[in-house]
Amino acid sequence: MSLWGVEVEAVSCGGEAERPVHPHYRRDGDLVGFADGSPFLLLSKASLDDLNGRLKEPVQVDRFRANIVIEGCAPYEEDSWRGVRMGGVAFRVVKPCSRA
């Protein structure tokens, strides 16, 4: 298959790619598949805007590899959230990202 002129192949990881969530944060049965430790990484646009206001050269949102970007909150407010709801789906927020 060609995607933007580059040959690519779709693959599947299967069940062996499932990993348990860190014991300190998981509930019984929690698993992630092909993730570093959590199924999503949340970032607010306000936090990114605040950070960029203090940097000589701004960074883009993709630098943080967040797969959920929230708008409409105060900077770093997401650090205290215990959950977030998008449409009819509720997500548990268990800890800040440990990437440094």
- pLDDT tens digits along 13-35: 666 666 777 777 777 877 776 56
Flag the least confident range among 43-47, 76-80, 96-100: 96-100
Judge whether 76 and 47 are in contact, CB under 8 Å: yes
The verdict on residue 100 lying in a domain is no
Instruction: Name beta bridge partners: 91.
Output: 84
DSSP letter at 94 equals: -
Domain count, the chain: 1
Does residue 48 lie in a domain region? yes
For the cut 50, the answer to whether the pLDDT of residue 69 exceeds it is: yes
Q: Which residues constitute the domain of residue 51?
A: 16-92
- Position 41 in a domain: yes
Distance CA 85, CA 62 (A): 22
* Helix (H), strand (E), coil (C) string for 8-41: CCCCCCCHHHEEECCCCCCCCCCEEECCCCCCCC
Report pLDDT for 44: 93
Asked, for residue 99, whether it belongs to a domain, the answer is no
pLDDT of residue 66: 85
